[in-house]
A and B are shown apart, each in its own frame.
Chain A
Amino acid sequence: MGAEFLGKLWSFFKSRKLAIFLIAALVISFTLGVLIPQAASRPDRFSLWASEHPFWARIAQALSLDEVFTSWWFALISFFFFVNLFACTWDQGARAWRLWKNRTSIKNYPGILAPVVIHAGLIVVVLGGLASAGFKMTGYMTVMEGEVRRELREEYEVLSEAPFFGLIGHRGYGIGLKKQERVLDETGKVSYIKSEIVVLDENKVLLEKTVEAGSPLIYKGLALYEYNAGFAPLVTITGPDGRELYKGFLFMQTLPGPPETTYQRKNFSVPGTSFVLDVRFYPDMVIRGGKVVTRKFSLGTPGMEVSIFQNGQEVVKGIVKKGEKLNFAGNSLSFGEVRQWTGLEVVYDPGAKILFGGCVVTLVGMALLYLKMRGP
């Protein structure tokens, strides 16, 4: 009875009709996931859609159509799909093996082997996806010139770890920014930024590479992507009694044009004070007729346009250059040292290579199938 049931179960799972049903179910699920705004990834879009179509939004929520890719029914379809894929591949592989052993249909063997290769490749793709879902880590950290950050949980400003990433753990490598360079286009605007990054083990340099958008540093599976970059002046605010109220590097965000690249920081609440700063930073400030005219992007004579707010009211607005002071309400603001910084997206994804390997196997199988197609 047990064997009979298992036999029926196996026949059910290796059924091609089930495969067709599941592929169709996946197509419908993906289509719903694209056409209906997904609350998980775009809550703003879903809220807008829900306000315009309250009836359909209620139905979507009731059926988890607003979170298709994390819904229980999508997980169930995916599970059945994987089991069906595995069973079909096993069945086809066993058949191909029998034919190989009996030396029958040798002429058509590539055509018989092709579906096995395609489906085996797809299994590897799914396993790669599962490895990513289980073990991936993505984090964000900023590194300034002259400092070394360590690849440890507490050093990240933003961190996302998959459930089983703890089994692998952080590596603890030192990560430093050696140099940064702005590459300009023919109009003189910043085209992209190159950051020379070093990976260290204690004081030993393990790897040194220039990273830029689309060209990460990869060391033993740990990939460092240049996410953003900019300048960081060391800002000091001094009180009426000469006491230092605040001293720290102010990270300027790089905002690409048009019309030009700007470095700025808005709504920065100064820790320990009631002041809020709006700052636009000029790496090489030239003033003519009371107006800032420079559009250079490399460090020269830096300066800042600063607006200081207190309790929502603008206290002062002015220009301050390196070594100068901007006085306001008995206090003063100045900046001295300017460093460059790079924001790094750090990714560890053991599933990526598995998945790409699976893609290659699948494509080889598909090419084999296509080349061995027999005529009508």
Chain B
Amino acid sequence: MASLTFKKEQWLRFGVIFSFLASLPLTAGIIARWIETGHFPYWGPYEVFTSYAWGALLFYLVVQLFKPNLKIAGTVVAPAVLLMTGIGVMSSTEMGDIPKTFFTYWLWIHIFFAKLSYGSVLISTALALSYLIKSRLEEKGATNPLLGKLPPLTKIDHLIYQFVAFGLVMLGIMIASGAVWAYKAWGRYWGWDPVETWALISWLVYALYLHLRIALGWKGKRSAWFAIFAMVVVVFSFFGIPLFYDSIHEHLNYLKE
């Protein structure tokens, strides 16, 4: 963010280095909590927020290995990680009793793909914002050395498309594994639970993005704005739904406590 603010291109690589350094204590914290509780951290506000922060940061770092020119995505991912870690650390760290139905490998699959989907949502949002800023600057004829280093607009547009498609696949696996888990735990694969219904809404919104792009040729700015809208929909299932509705996703019922 400093490199973007002060237009110092050479600082950009420090963003990735600092992200990597930040991932070390975060990973250590996750492992320590895992050992302490005997399960992967996903229960209660501290575990939910820190593990999502860890997942998003790890996803960002993995993306850097394959797409090194996407360092600027850190300007969205890093503040989101900081925010989630902060909320997690400042909330209750109490260890709750986990129902027996939560001890199944289907849950691990469900959670793992949830992290991947949210990671790809953050990256696609970062790319969408970059697209909008870069296109606006180009229209004005203004230059920014950092944004100049970004791939061309058509390439960014395609990367948004790829990350949205990746997010759609990950969300799909998350929903399907959740359905299998529910069937094994309670004998029903779908219960119109607010969180699961909202996950389906998120999936449909992502599907809508792809259909609009393929069938109606929505590309460029419209596509970028739609990717940002899709992120808002996904984030609402994370922060909004547990605030207003009772859910069988007990580990998310933290905002009412």
CA–CA, A355 and B175, complex, Å: 12
Instruction: Tell me which residues across on chain B come within 8 A of A129, comparing CB atoms.
Output: 190
CA–CA, A20 and B158, complex, Å: 21
CA–CA, A214 and B99, complex, Å: 9
Asked if A213 contacts B185 (CB within 8 A), the reply is yes
Is there a chain B Cβ closer than 8 Å to A95's Cβ? Answer: no
Instruction: Tell me which residues across on chain A come within 8 A of B214, comparing CB atoms.
Output: 16
- Chain B, interface size category, equals 35 or more
8 A Cβ contacts from A131-164 to B: 132, 138
Asked if A366 contacts B208 (CB within 8 A), the reply is no
Asked if A23 contacts B165 (CB within 8 A), the reply is no
The contact of B157 among A27, A191, A345, A376, by CB within 8 Å, is A376
Instruction: Tell me which residues across on chain B come within 8 A of A69, comparing CB atoms.
Output: 192
Among B9-17, B69-77, B130-138, B166-174, which stretch is in contact with chain A?
B166-174
Known contacts A20-B216, A33-B192; A356/B162 CB under 8 A? no
Instruction: Tell me which residues across on chain B come within 8 A of A355, comparing CB atoms.
Output: 179, 189
Is there a chain B Cβ closer than 8 Å to A362's Cβ? Answer: yes
Asked if A356 contacts B179 (CB within 8 A), the reply is yes
Known contacts A16-B215, A373-B161, A376-B155; A27/B204 CB under 8 A? yes
Asked if A213 contacts B187 (CB within 8 A), the reply is no
Instruction: Tell me which residues across on chain A come within 8 A of B184, comparing CB atoms.
Output: 214-216
Q: From B155, which residue of chain A is reached at the shortest CB distance?
A: A376
8 A Cβ contacts from B193-213 to A: 194, 197-198, 200-201, 204-205, 207-208, 211-212
Known contacts A23-B204, A33-B192, A34-B201; A373/B100 CB under 8 A? no
Instruction: Tell me which residues across on chain A come within 8 A of B100, comparing CB atoms.
Output: 191-192, 212-214
CA–CA, A299 and B114, complex, Å: 43
Q: From A27, which residue of chain B is reached at the shortest CB distance?
A: B204
Instruction: Tell me which residues across on chain B come within 8 A of A225, comparing CB atoms.
Output: 186-187
Asked if A26 contacts B187 (CB within 8 A), the reply is no
Instruction: Tell me which residues across on chain A come within 8 A of B34, comparing CB atoms.
Output: none
List chain A positions with a Cβ less than 8 A from chain B.
16-17, 19-20, 23-24, 26-27, 30-31, 33-34, 38, 41, 69, 129, 132, 138, 191-192, 212-216, 223, 225, 345, 347, 349, 352, 355-356, 359-360, 362-363, 366-367, 369-370, 373, 375-376
